[in-house]
Amino acid sequence: MSTKLHFRDYNPKQMLLFPQRLDKDIAENDPVRVVDAVIDSLRLDNFKKLYKERGRSPYHPKMMLKAVIYGYMNNLYSCRKIETALKRDIHFIWLAGYEQPDFNTINRFRNRVKEEVNQVFTQLVIVLAEKGFITLDVEYIDGTKIESKANKYTFVWKKTTEKNREKLISKINALLEQIDETIAQENAEQENGQSFTPANLKNIAEELNRNLENEAEPETKEQKEKRKERKKQIKQLRKHADKLGEYDNKLEILGDRNSYSKTDHDATFMRMKEDAMNNGQTKPGYNLQIGTENQFILDFGLFQTPGDPLTMISFFNSFLDRYDKLPQTCIADSGYGSEENYRFMEEAGVEAFVKYNWFHREQRMHYEPNPFSPQALYYNAEDDYYVCPMGQHMERIGTARTKTESGYITESARYKAQRCEGCPLRGSCFKAKGDRIIEVNHRLNEYRRKARERLTSEEGVKHRGRRCIEPEAVFGQMKYDMAYKRFRHVGMSKVKMDFAFFAIAFNLKKMCSKIAQQAKNGGKSPQSGLILHFCRISRLENRIFRDYRQKTADSVLSNSQAA
């Protein structure tokens, strides 16, 4: 007996009188609902001043903010991809309320709110602190290099620019000596040792050109050749003036940096961990510093210097500006263990679990310090002298002062041995001529001693173990899980804007993950209230929508019966 094969009705062009609600197919615990609820709870009053009262009504800033942040949560950093998702993805369609801004509108919105989005990030972190996800009392600090959008072959080096400028100045001096004119000699004099300026050179060229035009027409061949040569020299002088202006502009852009990119003037060439050629090639990028707690991003900063020590104080000031306080505890690796940073944290009342450069070597089981190093020598603090391995007193002979790149002055005491001639340990102790001289920074040594005590304590061991899974884990998730390895904008302001959006999306994604984990475990925590809050919002929306649908259906039915 054969049976007839039946399929379910399929008609993609069918029309519905009462279309179903879009979020019917969206789970109640879906991250898109959390994004919608959290953004609605934030204060966005500053966004209103960015729009004009006249003209066509713009898209609502909350809708645009939700769409961009949810796009970043799903690794969509391109405005074109977000535009496509707003037309295809049911989560984006529901979140945007059927609105479909194009990619230009989305990009203009990001650039328009590049200052205000930083405040949105701060508000979100405060919400996380209020809900118990973080405390804002502990901050784990670390940095990484993020490549710029600029090409890696667009470098401008400071030393090369200065060298070429000096060569150009020599050419200008030689050219002015060839010009047999009094005006050239008068204008070429350098007052108080100051160098030429492009404006001075152009004035000289204009003056020479006017004098040449006022002269009578040459008659002999020799005079014509001379006039032709002078025109050539004036033309060359103008070229030198333009080139000098180019070098001066490059040096102005460089400032205190050693390099920049021609297509992104704010980017500095740095060595990246992601080195495909394995040859240490430098690439244009930014030094990203973040502070984390429970793998949430508390603060971030972008710097043009490749080293970490010079960024710490500015980074702390950024934290203070955001939350009107400093963290009680700071944990960082040895890249931040400078005298300037230790002193700042001590005076600011921050408990510093910050390593110094040879801390790891000291913790090895078979570590043996060099007996001839200044740290291993006996020091008599009362009489202020060191004792060398042969028992000689090394008396203090003065103080050496050095200035760091940030302008901080360090002081090191200098000690000299009495007589090293004929010492049997001289070859092992030191190999320079004369008597041995050592320099010791007593203040830094004291800071390191305190840091060693904190780091080796029970609390310090706990923080050291957790530091590996705090900022390092965030960087791993950022670069490999969310594919955020390179900036997609040019300029410091736009790069900060882009990462602010990413940091908001990262924290929301992490919050959704922790909420889901707590719900899965069934355990109560400070976050449980947040879960109930979001669920309550979802149930309230469903009830309102059901009441609205019922009223609409009843009104349509009554109208049809009346007709």
**Is 422 domain-assigned?**
yes
Neighbours of 4 (CB within 10 A): 4
Please indicate, yes or no, whether residues 294 and 212 belong to a single structural domain of this protein.
no
User: Among candidates 476, 468, 477, which has minimal Cα distance to 510?
Assistant: 477
Q: What is the pLDDT of residue 346?
A: 94
In DSSP terms, 270 is beta-bridged to 283
How many domains does the structure of the chain reveal?
A: 4
Structure tokens at 44: 């966005």
User: Alpha-carbon distance 467 to 472, whole Å?
Assistant: 7
**Is 271 domain-assigned?**
no
Q: What is the pLDDT of residue 106?
A: 95
User: Alpha-carbon distance 140 to 475, whole Å?
Assistant: 12
User: Alpha-carbon distance 230 to 551, whole Å?
Assistant: 93
Alpha-carbon distances of 104 from 107, 108, 261, rounded to whole Å: 5, 6, 27
If you count them, how many residues does the chain have?
563
**DSSP letter, residue 469:** T
Give, for all 563 residues of the chain, the pLDDT tens digit. 567 777 667 677 777 665 567 778 888 889 999 999 999 999 998 898 888 888 888 899 999 999 999 999 999 999 999 999 999 999 999 999 889 999 999 999 999 999 999 999 999 999 999 999 999 999 999 999 999 999 888 999 999 999 999 999 888 888 888 775 545 555 555 443 356 788 888 888 888 888 887 877 877 888 788 888 888 888 888 899 999 999 999 999 999 899 999 999 999 999 887 765 666 788 999 999 999 999 999 999 999 998 888 999 999 999 999 999 999 999 999 889 999 999 999 999 999 999 998 888 888 878 888 888 888 889 998 889 999 888 889 999 999 999 988 889 999 999 998 888 888 888 888 888 888 899 999 999 999 999 999 999 999 999 999 998 999 999 999 999 999 999 999 999 999 999 999 999 999 999 999 988 887 777 554 444 454 454 444 444 444 333 433 443 344 334 444 44
Structure tokens at 224: 């014509």
Structure tokens at 528: 């449980």
User: Alpha-carbon distance 386 to 391, whole Å?
Assistant: 9
The residues near 538 (Cβ < 8 Å, ≥ 6 apart) are: 28, 33
The residues near 131 (Cβ < 8 Å, ≥ 6 apart) are: 526, 527, 529, 530
Please indicate, yes or no, whether residues 356 and 497 belong to a single structural domain of this protein.
yes
**Is 533 domain-assigned?**
no
**Is 275 domain-assigned?**
no
Please indicate, yes or no, whether residues 341 and 487 belong to a single structural domain of this protein.
yes
Please indicate, yes or no, whether residues 477 and 429 belong to a single structural domain of this protein.
no
Please indicate, yes or no, whether residues 321 and 298 belong to a single structural domain of this protein.
yes
User: Among candidates 103, 119, 99, 116, which has minimal Cα distance to 57?
Assistant: 99
Please indicate, yes or no, whether residues 186 and 333 belong to a single structural domain of this protein.
no
**Is 489 domain-assigned?**
yes
Question: Cα-flanking dihedrals φ and ψ of residue 486, to 5°?
Answer: -150, 140
User: Alpha-carbon distance 111 to 120, whole Å?
Assistant: 15
Give the residue numbers spanning the domain of 37: 17-113
Q: Rounded to the nearest 5 degrees, what angle is found at the Cα of 553, between the Cα atoms of 548 and 554? A: 100
Please indicate, yes or no, whether residues 253 and 163 belong to a single structural domain of this protein.
yes
